[in-house]
Amino acid sequence: MRLAVRNVGTNYLAYGAAILSGLILTPITISAITKEGYGAWVFIASLTTLLRVLDFGISPTVIRYTAFHRGSGAADDIHALAPASFAVFLVLGLMSLLVGLVLAWFLPSMISLPADLEQPAQVACVIAVFTLATQAPLGLFGSLLKGAQRFDVLNAGTLVSIAVYFVLVVTVLTRHGTLPILATFALIATVVRLSYPLLYVRRELPGLRLSPRLVTGQSVRELLGFSGYTFFSHVAGKVLFSADVLVIGAVLGAKQVALYGVAARLFDLATSVAATGTDVMLPVQSELEGRGEQSRQRALTTTGIRAATCVAVLLALPMVVLPAWVLHAWLGSGFSASIAPLALLGATVPFTVITSVLGQFLIARGRPSLLAVSQIALAVANLALTILLLLETREIWTAAFATLVVQIAGALLLLPLLARREGMPYAAVVVSWGTPVAVGILAAVPTLVVARVLTDTDSLLVLAVVGAYWAAVFSALAWRLALTRGERTMVRGLARRGRATIPAAEV
């Protein structure tokens, strides 16, 4: 449990650094490359995010099986899994590079760009695709360490890469603001982040070998047999959260992408922070599966939903109640069209928690097919609704509305019903999520709502004071009303002794 505490703590530290860096660098980047350039960069980032699905679900499969074999005491199976994964990753990296280069060639026809941005955007896209290709083979070592529950090592690499990227943008991009330079800085930061774990892999997995002679047809078939379903889940997840930007770019152009992109940036940060504590759950859940401890699996799942929802509500409600204040204090008055998308995406954040935690639960239980079917259905619904509304209204807020509607359906209906088939009570899921949400609404009335009524200022300092007051009130109420007695005891144990146990009968 002590290792889990360190993993969660360093996760929050890394995401906190990413948030701070993102908030500072976004206006600097927009100023350096213009709104149209930033819109093109957001579009390229969304394009490469979709290309990441070409890992065919290998990463979560490696994490799951590494942890499962650790739980069942079968270390030799981990050593057989790694060489097959590395071989598959090399092939997939080459595939993503080739597909990406084709997309870079056709980029100007995919999004409306000023003539002077077309070639720089193509060059930046090529660099971004090469960055993506490096993530396939190098990412294996990060997945192995996640399966070994060494998120702290990965987070250290993330912190170093954030520092490198921050320094490069502030010192160079502000004087030479071009898309290719920005893409090059992203490449450098990615290589730093992925290379750092190499220093620790041998220590955690001393028997690991990646010789081609160890790759067998059976190991590859076993790997792909499980990863095929996680691949479809991964594809659907990327479509669900990245298609909005691509559709807006194709229908409305780069400037509208930039306006939607700043709201989507805050949404991504909020969902990432809400999920950061639960990111460590997949290997823990899989190890419990290997041990046959299903009751602790269920307890960990409900605890994860409650804790992650508390974080999600803490971050989301200011975006819902004070969207104009947040945007104007951050970027100025030129982003009024982003207000409605930000409010809608903020409302979406708490619903993403259920799909994230229950998705990990289903993978750990060895049911990736259930997750794949549900994610594909949600992705298709979101894409269809987004296209329909955008073509009908040509308003960017409708894309955020489509995401909200589909997430509500997935979080409160589809995923809980699938998890119930694996022994997770539906009522336990809804109560674990609904209690922190209700507490958040209660806490928002004397804090965020009152602030909105009393002032229309755009002051960043006043916003920070209101935010601190909101956080204090919500945290106090959430501690008493949202967490169970067993969870409060567990947190006290962690604070006092650095160790605690997961209650075995929380559901």
pLDDT for res 438: 96
pLDDT for res 507: 43
Q: Are 288 and 71 in contact (CB under 8 A)?
A: yes
503 assigned to some structural domain: no
Q: Which residues in the chain come in under a pLDDT of 50? A: 497-500, 503-507
128 assigned to some structural domain: yes
- The rounded radius of gyration (Å) of the Cα atoms in the chain is 22
Only one residue has tokens 């109560």, namely 431
E-strand ranges in 373-474 read none
Q: Are 48 and 131 in contact (CB under 8 A)?
A: yes
Reading the block at residue 377, the tokens are 């259905």
CA 218 from centre of chain: 32
Predicted confidence (pLDDT) per residue in 15-26, tens digit:
788 878 888 888
H/E stretch holding 350 reads: helix 339-364
Whole-Å CA distances, 406 to 348, 356, 402, 412, 498:
9, 14, 6, 10, 40
505 assigned to some structural domain: no
Reading the block at residue 298, the tokens are 């269920």
506 assigned to some structural domain: no
Which distant-in-sequence residues (6+ apart) come within 8 Å of 144 by Cβ?
A: 62, 66, 78, 82, 201, 204, 205, 208
242 assigned to some structural domain: yes
Reading the block at residue 194, the tokens are 């992925």
User: Length of the chain in residues, anyone?
Assistant: 507
Which distant-in-sequence residues (6+ apart) come within 8 Å of 5 by Cβ?
A: 494, 498, 499
Amino acid letter for position 4 = A
Only one residue has tokens 């998308």, namely 341
Q: Are 155 and 124 in contact (CB under 8 A)?
A: no
Which distant-in-sequence residues (6+ apart) come within 8 Å of 222 by Cβ?
A: 84
The Cα–Cα gap between 211 and 86 comes to 10
Predicted confidence (pLDDT) per residue in 238-291, tens digit:
666 667 877 888 888 777 888 888 888 889 888 888 877 666 777 777 778 777
Q: Are 276 and 264 in contact (CB under 8 A)?
A: no
Of the candidates 186, 185, 177, which has an alpha carbon nearest to the alpha carbon of residue 35? 177
The Cα–Cα gap between 241 and 230 comes to 17
Domain that holds residue 218: 2-497
Reading the block at residue 38, the tokens are 């930033």
Which distant-in-sequence residues (6+ apart) come within 8 Å of 220 by Cβ?
A: 84, 87, 88
The Cα–Cα gap between 39 and 56 comes to 28
Which distant-in-sequence residues (6+ apart) come within 8 Å of 501 by Cβ?
A: 1, 490, 493
59 assigned to some structural domain: yes
Helix pair 460-477, 426-444: axis angle to 10 deg = 130
Q: Are 469 and 447 in contact (CB under 8 A)?
A: yes
pLDDT for res 278: 66
SS3 of the chain: helix, strand, coil, percent, to 5: 85, 0, 15
The Cα–Cα gap between 26 and 342 comes to 16
- Write the secondary structure of 233-297 as one string of H (helix), E (strand) and C (coil): HHHHHHHHHHHHHHHHHHHHCHHHHHHHHHHHHHHHHHHHHHHHCCCCHHHHHHHHHHHCCHHHH
253 assigned to some structural domain: yes
Amino acid letter for position 278 = T
Structural domain total, the chain: 1
507 assigned to some structural domain: no
Q: Report long-range pairs for 399-402 (Cβ below 8 Å, ≥24 apart).
A: 399/244, 399/247, 399/248, 399/260, 399/341, 400/244, 400/260, 400/263, 400/340, 400/341, 400/342, 400/344, 400/345, 400/348, 401/344, 402/244
Of the candidates 396, 382, 389, which has an alpha carbon nearest to the alpha carbon of residue 340? 396
